[in-house]
Structure 1
Amino acid sequence: MASPTSWSEENFSCPICLDVFSSPVFTPCGHNFCRACITKFWDDQAQYKCPVCNELFHTRPDLRANILVSELAAQFKTSVRVKEQPCVEPGEVPCDFCTGTQLKAVKSCLVCFTSYCQTHLEPHQRVARLQKHRLVEPMDHLEERMCKEHDRLLELFCQTEQVCVCLLCTVTDHKSHPVIPLKKEYEVKTAQLGKIEAEVPQMIQERKQKIKEIKDTVKLSKKDADTVMADGLQALTALMRCIEKWQEDFNQTVKEKLKSTEKQAEDLIKGLEQEIEDLTNRSAEVKLLSHTEDHLHFLQAFRALKDPPPTRDWTTVVVRPPSYVGTWRRSLDQLEETLNMGMKKLCDAELKRVQQYEVDVTLDPDTAYPWLILSEDGKQVHYRGLMNGLPDNPKRFHEIACVLSRQSFSSGRFYFEVQVKDKSVRCLGVARESINRKNNIALTPKNGCWGISIMKDVFEFRDDPVVCLPLRAELHKVGVYVDYDEGLVSFYDVEARVHIYSATGCSFSEPLYPILRDNCSGLPLIISPVNQTD
């Protein structure tokens, strides 16, 4: 006789339900059926006949179990299920009833605290008493569902201590604590989980956007670097013999600045990609947890999940394109004697670059010396010669005819222009927030001010010692450029398109304000809009 494993499913199929026999019985004509199938078939018929051969029985036959077919069908079921079900792999739950080769469990019983493969699960699907047991997706460590102190099922949740408890816990250690069923707390945490699940993709998207911003900044930095190097090469080709070393040093500096920017961008991108990976993993964990029906496992896992992984606040993170203005200045100062012919072209390109950082500056009347008059729009200031009777306050200058802007700058780059035609100016530049406003002090970097004074035929940078340089022509408009992070303050003759002076290596640790000091001539100093076509 052939082994059941060599037969097909048709050999063990009920002619009525077409499934493998369940409790097979045979009729007087010799045909086999599931007991439930043939019983229901005859219940619905007026006559009792065989569904296969149509033999008619005058009375309802007594059905007898076919023990041989039953045993063969059981062996066939087992052999088929063994073939269909893979053995337990890492991360899967094994069947607690299998001996020898363990099969993976398909369900776990929360009443029996046992996991079953498809074969050993059969009694829970057939026996009425076992059908009342709660079956869930396979899970390990079912014993952890029992209270270690009372050996009772953990079915309640303590809201005070945020732990799962059994019924006896509510009359002992958690007697005075509010407790609710696990299902109710599950619903609360599920709602929170949904919020977390919604937030994670948004956080991922924000970081992807930040990566795009950083990459775009790097592209602009590369373009700017190429432009700077091309400008330098074009302007200095005719003087290549005397500036060969300068060109080498200059290009190296630009490349190092660009490399530094790219390295900064690379590090930031790695950090963002790591957070994206962490958030993606968290999203997967959230999604997996959101599908579990096991209240206890959900709540225990949610405890570790509810706090998001530590992430950096990327909203203020930017990669600033490197500034090459200081590089130009240091190089050109060394070669000024031989580069006079090319200086104007170089300075014109430089001024166009810094003018891109134009900011809107208005003067603050609360800081103005009492004898100064400001226009309504805050763009002009002149000396009146009479006390305005303005109230004193900590922000107002008391001994020096100065006024600050309303705007302050604590990072990055900014540029503004001041019309000084037919004027001499005691100070034009920037000052730190804590500058002494009540005493007559020297407006120098030591005292928190970086500015120039303009006389008839000379200008001064008020340092210690004072830097004095002759004016090539009468000044009409002065441009002021500040790179806060670079520690650079530069001054330009806007109409002549030439550089006047740069203070390099400055150290800024406070907000900076544009500052003007009038020379008591009665003519206004005017903050002008930038016209890049000049």
Structure 2
Amino acid sequence: MAGPGSPPAVPVWLAEDDLCCIICQGLLAWPVTLPCGHSFCKNCLTNLWDKHKERTRSRWCCPTCREAPEQRPALCKNTLLQDLVDKYSSAVCELENRGPAPASSLNPKSRRRAASPRVVIPRSLTAVGEELVELVEQLVDTVRSLQSHLPTLELGPDPDLSTLVEDFSSGVDLPLASGKQVTSSAPEGKMSNILRDLEEIQEKLRENFMRKEAAEEQMCGALAEVPAAPSAFSCPTPDQNSPTSNRVSRFAQWAISPTFDLRSASLYLQVSEDQRTVTVSPRPLSYSLSCERFFVSQVFCSQALSLGRQYWEVDTNSCSHWAVGVASWEMNRGQILGRTKDSWCLEWKGTGQLAVWSMNKETLLGSDRPGVVGIWLDLDEGKLAFYAVTSEERLMHECEVPGSCPLYPAFWLYGLQVGNSLTIK
């Protein structure tokens, strides 16, 4: 507890992944840090090393970066990390109305079940939004000041503004990137474009955080009891005798028709009665609050894909900004699809740019927007592929996925554009 003369607390966003051991996938217990800087549970690391029969230098390599010291390093407890883990575990227990218990007293499996997706200490999302708005206002004032002094300035070449705007908006659930390119070579034209885009960002930030304020107040109340995660099973293929479309697909024998999972849907996403269309709502919906629900406008399907081959299609024609793909059920509910180690997606930015996100890395594909996206998942081969569907399927991109854990169809309707929708065909 801080004393009377202590400085104000610094806001910290902690997710389970930040304090996770990649070996057991749970919170760190008796954390040790290797010379390369990566940390693990002491027992997990020693057990892994002891399984290696070879007596070479690589026996002591780091499971993350594979750096291998000359000899087995001494494993001393990282007291700072242990303190953070204990504080995180206590905060989670208090949020769930349980008595605080240090994470070191729990085994890896119970630690993972007990942890909340995200603990926000101590400021609210709205407060952070207000600071972002103030920051953009300062940028607007600065640009206006520079604009008034243009005759006395020598301006060099500017970077492409669209890259700046997209970088700024990559972590915010908004269609901030307006798609306008800087076409004027004159300093006055470039400055006007920058000012216009900054003012648009400013307005979008105000609008977005005002709409999320009500949802945040509900979230900060009490967390409802978390329902058990759905069991992993392979989705059955539909009856091939039932007509689905006039097009004969080469993937017909593996076609599935997954349905949206209400437990994971964001408060602003409304699911249709047949659970195959998700639409952005103008106001937060009265869903029950749980740790399974996304904070951003994302949703999973109910079906866990754990074996074999599956194929499904998504109609994106009624959505201006979207991402479709797969993710593990353990994906952090405060993070964005494709920006984690356990999610993969095809994303249309709404700015004439199509991209694939895999293992938190972006691959640009071009400017052709697919109206219908076909998703092919081959867990036997560890492959995920995205197809543009018209009269036939055209491969756009293929990437690798692990076959060791179930994956769920995942969707992102970002920007909260009211009425935007995605439909599983």
Task: Give yes or no for TM over 0.5.
Answer: no
TM-score normalised by length of structure 1: 0.31
Q: Which has the larger radius of gyration?
A: 1
TM-score normalised by length of structure 2: 0.39
Which structure is higher in helix share? Answer: 1
